[in-house]
Structure 1
Amino acid sequence: MEKSHIVKLYEDGKSTTDISALACISVRQVRNILHQENVTFRPRGSWKRQYTVNEHYFKTWSPNMAYILGFIAADGVISKTLQCISFSQKEPSILEHIRDELQSDQPLHQNERTGVYLLNIHSKTMKEDLMTLHGITPNKSTTITLPYVPAHLLSHFIRGYFDGDGNVTYPKYVVSFVGGSEAFMLGIKAVLEAHGFQPDFVDKGRYFRLYIVGRRNIRLFANWIYKDKTLYLSRKFDEFERETLPLEQLQNKKQRITRAAVADRKNKFLACYATSYDLEDCARSVGVTPNTVKVWTRKDPCFKDKVAELDQEKSI
């Protein structure tokens, strides 16, 4: 059998065992010929795959690929020991859409106890691409960092992460994200800030939250992540659709300053005061009045002591 014929059989999906039988040569000889012809080998056992899948899906950027990558960053599980990527959701429809996008015919399974649906995709190549090309690894919850995503696809990635680990609440007008990795959540924060949002970052100890607050703000956020949408979780999209007013009529209520924001202002004031010792200028630099600083001094003993220490250093 000609070498070109052997290569053609392999590229058409025949196994090296089948080809060796057809060519009346050993499997080792078949593999040597394929090596000589610079043929890229399939993962072992791939021709025995029970269900189809586009194993090279995560090699090429697209809006849907960015969405699924964000979804995996939030809710996906990459097995440490198996060549498997798992997706879970209460609604089966989004998993069916993801499965179709991955060109798979893998059936969904439902956990009888929780009612949650599970999609398992078995592919060594896909797992390796997620790990090596995009930095998404097993046991990622506390270690993941924001992967590189082309700028024009960031809204799709954020929508995917939001569908996995985000929430919107009406009529409080709050969008929130949750995650276990500080580096990843700070990366999301930077993306949101670059697109004109001002998210609040809150350290909850074992996890981290981001908040976008305000009726107009969350409408703008929805307009951004759902522009040119294809894949999305209907339940969360429908929640945004509760808004009845057009964008030009929406306004944000003045938000109450949080404890974290006050503490941040105090620290910035102290840093300024340590160099200039000008109470009025430092108060203005952090957006408060001198009278507010006096209230802090009266009600916060720790702050009062730090100001006193700086005053003492000034007099030395």
Structure 2
Amino acid sequence: MKWSKEEVILLQELYPNYPTNDLVEIFHRNRDAINCKAKEMGIKKIDRYASNGIANKKYNINENYFNEKSRNMFYVLGFWCADGCICSSGGNKCFNIHIKNDDKYLLKNILLDMKSTHKLYENQTSVSINICNQKIYDSLINLGFTERKSLTLEFPLWIPKQYLNDFIRGYFDGDGSVDKNGYCVHIMGTKHFLISLKEILEQNNIRVHSIVQTNHKNSKSDIPHSLYVTRKDEVSKFGDFIYKDMTDNDLFLHRKKERFKMDNKANEKKIQSKN
């Protein structure tokens, strides 16, 4: 059976760290087919999984997580929209998020919030979670998301107003950045997603400078486009918005929040020096 593009992408991500027995369960293919495809792609196991692997086990998780409204649920949804995927292979429906190694504490906190006992899988540069669960997968499909969301993603305008900043914070933590001097916020996404995001930000008195296409070579794809918020006062308002009313229990990426803190401290010093 031919491998789909989505399966190939997922195998590239999972093969080095996942036990082959787990991959059999995920892809609904036999060991020889998986190992043969991996060899063809030039990817190898990390040594501890190079042999027979570890038997697949059942994990606990709150299967209704994406059906229960909370600040953290909408944060996770936003983060997944930026840095995750869903994939169906054989009889398995999987939910995946991957991020750089330095930020693995965030994935640990996400698993805790989902009441999940799933493992983290690491390689030299990234860490990921892969949750094979029909109800989690179906919840995201029912919310309007697709397996090919990198091409089809639109802003979920059904999100209640009180959770918009949490969703946007999650998306920003996954696919956004703020420059070290606090002059520019940059967020990537599909054109349709960013147009809706621009409208929401401007409704909250945050001026968006522009939305531009950043990859002109692939005209068939609606991604990547980039949204820019420029000027320190607008960047500061963006930070105030996404971190609004946060508590110690809310999810966020520490290093990005620190950028906004550093910018605020710099502004305070300038004001003091003028006085």
Does the alignment reach a TM-score above 0.5?
yes
Are 2:108 and 1:100 equivalent residues in the alignment? no
1:212 counterpart residue number: 229
1:1-316 map, 5 Å = 50-81=58-89, 82-90=92-100, 91-112=103-124, 115-132=125-142, 134-147=143-156, 148-171=158-181, 173-179=183-189, 181-199=190-208, 200-204=210-214, 205=216, 206-229=223-246, 230-243=250-263, 244=265, 245-246=267-268, 249=271
Report the CA distance between 1:157 and its aligned residue.
0.3
Give distance in 2, aligned partners of 1:157 and 1:237: 15
The 3-state SS of whatever aligns with 1:242 is helix
Measured in 2, the distance between the counterparts of 1:145 and 1:151 equals 17
> Which structure 2 residue ranges, 5 or more long, are not aligned?
1-55, 217-222
Larger Rg: 1
Deviations 1:103-132 (A, max 9, x none): 0011100024xx200011221001101111
Amino acid at match of 2:252: Y
Please give the TM-score of this superposition, normalised by the length of structure 1. Answer: 0.60
Do the aligned partners of residues 191 and 56 (structure 1) sit closer, same or farther apart at CA in structure 2, a change above 3 Å counting?
same
Checking the alignment, whether the CA contact within 8 Å between 1:219 and 1:247 is kept in structure 2 is: no
Contact kept? 1:67, 1:157, Cα under 8 Å: yes
Cα-Cα RMSD: 2.0
TM-score scaled by structure 2? 0.68
Partner of 2:20: none
Matched to 2:152, the amino acid is T
Aligned equivalents of 2:271 and 2:172: distance in 1? 26
Residue identity in the other structure for 1:123: N
Provide the rounded CA distance (Å) in 2 between the counterparts of 1:145 and 1:73. Answer: 10
Letter in 2 for 1:120: N
Q: Which 5+ residue runs of structure 1 have no aligned equivalent?
A: 1-47, 251-316
Call closer, same or farther: CA 1:128–1:248 in 2, change over 3 Å. Answer: farther
Cα distance in 2 for residues equivalent to 1:246 and 1:152: 29
The 2-side partners of 1:131 and 1:247 are apart by 48
TM-aligned CA deviation for residue 228 of structure 1: 2.7
Matched-pair contact (CA < 8 Å) for 2:80–2:171: yes
Number of residue pairs matched by the alignment: 199
User: Residue 146 of structure 1 contacts residue 188 of structure 1 at CA under 8 Å; is this kept in 2?
Assistant: yes
SS for the counterpart of 1:121 is strand
Which secondary structure does the structure 2 equivalent of 1:170 belong to?
coil
Name the CA shift for 1:121/1:172 in 2 (closer, same or farther; >3 Å).
same
Q: Deviation at 1:249?
A: 4.9
Letter in 2 for 1:105: T
| Secondary structure, counterpart of 2:116 in structure 1 | coil
Q: Distance in 2 between matches of 1:190 and 1:49?
A: 45
Task: Report the residue type matching 1:109 in the other structure.
Answer: Y
| Higher RCO structure, 1 or 2 (CA under 8 Å, sep 6+) | 2
Given that 1:88 and 1:117 are in contact with CA atoms closer than 8 Å, whether structure 2 keeps it comes out as yes
Contact 2:182 2:260 in 1 (8 A): no
Q: Tell me how far 1:49 sits from its aligned partner.
A: 6.4
Distance apart, 1:51 and its partner CA:
1.0
Query: Post-superposition shift, 1:203?
Result: 2.2
Q: Which has the higher strand share?
A: 2
Contact 1:73-1:161 within 8 A present in 2 as well: yes
Question: What is the deviation of 1:92?
Answer: 0.5
**Cα distance between partner residues in 1 of 2:268 and 2:130:** 41
1:139-178 CA distances to partner (integer Å, 9 max, x unpaired)?
1101111112101110000000000000000215100101
Question: Is the 8 Å Cα contact of residues 166 and 175 (structure 1) preserved in structure 2?
Answer: yes
